[in-house]
């Protein structure tokens, strides 16, 4: 089959594109390389350097033949930055997605997979795990923009018959098991690569924000899902879209605390991680863990790499082998 992957030069998008190629499909990657990396586009994928703000260029790509599905990852995705520049995030993420969705309906795309987020559930504490039908209350303009896109897809289904899967990720982590791809954000904001870089001496001591949360060790707990398991879920939901639109929370269903992540990096690497306490960050909930029972039940999806040491080991191996990320790949 033939798929279009927007944001396919980014962390999650590139791994999904790679999984599609490994499964024998034809893949076209669309990315403006504002945050992605040309070297992250998997060999075998055709690359189109296009900005989704350019509606004419987006339509040009969509007009090039029949598509068996579109997978949309391209977005601004830093929660903190969206609190500083709320209207930039709201404008950019919604307009780029509107351009893409409009072109998809115009050229007859029938299956659309959307990279949504656990940020829809806000910053308030709520009992874990979080179900698919939990109250939507975005805690940031970033989360709000994703919710608007989910609502737009609902109308694309009702009016044009384009079925969609909204996959609400929790914390994607790790790297391709054979080392072909990894995580290279600039700036990096994710805990696992930040912890690894602190251990490797590539950055100052890691700061742990808050030690008095109502958790066993006092630090926040998050649900980490290996990026390869995440990619597998995208393949599986395609069959669902032959019948209906779906929305799923996507995580391991198991949480690991910030301290447990540090301990895992130290255990896997055999080296100490320099770190220090810092004040809580406003809006950080104590626990964010997904209830992924429905996607497991309806698609037979199950994460295979849910152990925190496995997630850390794949991430560590890629960062050690790529000290400059994709810059010299």
**CATH assignment at residue 200:** 3.90.25.10
Average the pLDDT over 288-313 and give the result: 96
**What's the confidence (pLDDT) of residue 285?**
84
Other CB atoms within a 10 A radius of the CB of residue 232 amount to 20
Share of the chain above pLDDT 90, in %: 92
pLDDT in tens, 134-178: 999 998 999 999 999 999 999 999 999 999 999 999 999 999 999
Residue 292 lies in a domain: yes
**What's the confidence (pLDDT) of residue 328?**
63
Pair (306, 290) in one structural domain:
yes
User: Cα(4)–Cα(100) distance, rounded to whole angstroms?
Assistant: 11
**What's the confidence (pLDDT) of residue 281?**
82
Pair (151, 263) in one structural domain:
no
Other CB atoms within a 10 A radius of the CB of residue 203 amount to 15
Residue 153 lies in a domain: yes
Helix, strand, or coil here: 269? helix
Of 90, 209, 84, nearest to 146 by C-alpha is 90
Q: For residue 205, give every residue at least 6 positions away whose Cβ sits within 8 Å of its Cβ, in sequence order, or none.
A: 198, 274, 275, 276
Answering whether pTM is above 0.85, one says yes
Residue 114 lies in a domain: yes
Confidence of residue 131 (pLDDT cuts 50, 70, 90): very high
pLDDT in tens, 54-68: 999 999 999 998 999
User: Cα(248)–Cα(252) distance, rounded to whole angstroms?
Assistant: 13
Give φ, ψ of 289 to 5 degrees: -135, 140
**What's the confidence (pLDDT) of residue 17?**
98
Is pLDDT of 125 > 90? no
Pair (40, 128) in one structural domain:
yes
Handedness of CA 214, 219, 220, 222 (dihedral sign): negative
Pair (218, 302) in one structural domain:
yes
Pair (77, 112) in one structural domain:
yes
Share of the chain above pLDDT 70, in %: 99
Q: What is the mean pLDDT of the chain?
A: 95
* Catalytic residue check, 142: yes
Residue 212 lies in a domain: yes
Options 142, 169, 213, 248, the catalytic residue: 142
Is pLDDT of 221 > 90? yes
Pair (150, 268) in one structural domain:
no
User: Cα(107)–Cα(4) distance, rounded to whole angstroms?
Assistant: 13
Number of domains forming the structure of the chain:
2
Confidence of residue 317 (pLDDT cuts 50, 70, 90): very high
Is pLDDT of 329 > 60? no
Structure tokens at 204: 């100052």
The answer to whether 222 and 209 are in contact (CB under 8 A) is no
Residue 159 lies in a domain: yes
Pair (133, 209) in one structural domain:
no
Range of the domain at 43: 2-173+225-250
């Amino acid at each position: 089959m033939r798929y279009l992957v927007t944001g396919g030069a980014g962390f999650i998008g590139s791994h999904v594109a790679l999984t599609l190629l490994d499964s024998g499909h034809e893949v076209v990657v669309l990315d403006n390389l504002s945050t992605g990396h040309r070297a992250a586009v998997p060999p075998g994928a055709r690359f189109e350097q296009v900005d989704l703000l350019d509606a004419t260029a987006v339509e040009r790509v969509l007009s090039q033949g029949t598509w068996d599905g579109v997978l949309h990852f391209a977005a601004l995705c830093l929660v903190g930055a969206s609190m500083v520049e709320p209207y930039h995030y709201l404008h950019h993420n919604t307009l780029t997605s509107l351009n893409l969705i409009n072109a998809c309906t115009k050229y007859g795309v029938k299956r659309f997979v959307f990279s949504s987020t656990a940020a829809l559930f806000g910053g308030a504490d709520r009992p874990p795990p979080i179900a698919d039908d939990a109250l939507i209350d975005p805690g940031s303009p970033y989360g709000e923009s994703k919710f608007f896109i989910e609502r737009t897809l609902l109308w694309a289904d009702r009016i044009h018959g384009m079925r969609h899967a909204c996959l609400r990720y929790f914390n994607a982590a790790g790297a391709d098991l054979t080392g072909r791809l990894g995580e290279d954000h600039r700036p990096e904001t994710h805990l696992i690569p930040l912890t690894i870089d602190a251990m490797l001496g590539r950055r100052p001591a890691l700061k742990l924000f808050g030690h008095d949360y109502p958790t066993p060790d006092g630090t926040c707990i998050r649900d980490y899902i290996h990026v390869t398991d995440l990619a597998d879920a995208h393949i599986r939901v395609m069959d669902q879209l032959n019948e209906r639109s779906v929305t799923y929370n996507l995580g391991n269903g198991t949480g690991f605390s910030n301290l447990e992540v540090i301990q895992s990096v130290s255990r896997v690497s055999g080296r100490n991680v320099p770190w220090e306490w810092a004040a809580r960050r406003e809006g950080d909930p104590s626990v964010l863990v997904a209830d992924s029972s429905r996607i497991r039940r309806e698609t037979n999806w199950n994460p295979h790499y849910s152990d925190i040491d496995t997630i850390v080991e794949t991430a560590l191996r890629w960062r050690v082998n790529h000290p400059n990320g994709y810059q010299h790949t």
